[in-house]
Amino acid sequence: MDPPASIPPSRAEPFPATGVPAGPAPDRRRLPDWRSVLAVVAHPDDESFGLGAVLAAFVAAGAEVSVLCFTRGEASTLHGVSGDLTEVRAKELRAAADALGVISVELLDHPDGRLSEVPLADLTAQVSAAARTGATGLLVFDPSGVTGHPDHRRATEAALGAAGTLGLRVLGWTVPADVAATVNAEHATSFVGHPPSAIDLTVTVDRARQHEAVRCHPSQAVPASPLWRRLELLGDNEHLRWLPDGQGKAH
């Protein structure tokens, strides 16, 4: 499942679809050397279920990692523990961030499941404010939302808008198309993946911290969750795409 060793000629335009500038092929097995990473997500658990292994890899490389989460996840249909999800999931997020080595978490109060109703300019301004504390790059879900959740797409849209203003590079987490197809067939989910030709980085990861962080989300990490099958299929690899910013530019 590794991507090709070099960029095909069809992706050698100045600013190809995935946002990689033309020039010598980058090392497609390594994360960028960012000193400070801001992860922008929609819900508590996105930082662990989706981005956890990549965030842990950045921490292991010496980066300072922060998380901006737009909602408290109160509309989830999963409820693996008792209590008000608004409060339960906030506590879970902070515990998971500690497990991943995240240095700071900002949890906002936008409505779960209705992030598209919040003016994009407001969300973008909040990402910009968080990033101005010194972020070198942004880590987000792929613009597809990966799982198909509209809140994921909106969070990434806001991050890309902020990146265009601040001149920051953006990495989008994705899954291979065959992994998405398998999980969808087995769990009736709506994952969206990409073929190898559309994936820029395939990074080998250690999932120990991610698994520890996932255990911090007992309200959501229920036995029937497709999370477990996805992690099994991904093995020790995570897949990322360089995303053009809100102005359509790569940096």
Confidence of residue 13 (pLDDT cuts 50, 70, 90): very low
In 3D space, the residue among 219, 177, 203 whose CA is nearest the CA of residue 53 turns out to be 203
Count of domains forming the chain? 1
Residue 27 maps to a domain: no
Q: What angle do CA 201, 185, 72 make, to 5 degrees?
A: 65
Q: What pLDDT, on a 0 to 100 scale, did the predictor assign at position 76?
A: 85
**Looking at the domain assignment, is residue 6 inside a domain?**
no
pTM higher than 0.75: yes
Beta strands in the chain (DSSP E): 36-41, 64-71, 104-110, 137-141, 169-174, 201-204, 237-243
Residue 214 has pLDDT above 60, yes or no: yes
Residues 6+ apart with CB under 8 A from 228: none
pLDDT digits (tens, 9 = 90+) for 117-144: 999 999 999 999 999 999 999 999 999 9
Q: Which residue has the tokens 């801001």?
A: 38
Q: Is the pLDDT of residue 159 over 70?
A: yes
> The domain containing residue 166 runs over which residues?
32-243
The answer to whether residue 79 scores a pLDDT higher than 70 is yes
State pLDDT tens for residues 85-116.
899 999 999 999 999 999 999 999 999 999 99
Q: Pick 241 or 17 by higher pLDDT.
A: 241
Residue 17 is assigned to a structural domain of this protein: no
For the chain, the average pLDDT equals: 89
The CATH number for 51's domain is: 3.40.50.10320
Q: Are 7 and 25 in contact (CB under 8 A)?
A: yes
Give residue 75's pLDDT.
79
Q: Give the C-alpha separation, 61 to 215, whole Å.
A: 23
> Is residue 62 pLDDT above 70, yes or no?
yes
Confirm whether 16 is domain-assigned.
Answer: no
Residue 15 in any domain: the answer is no
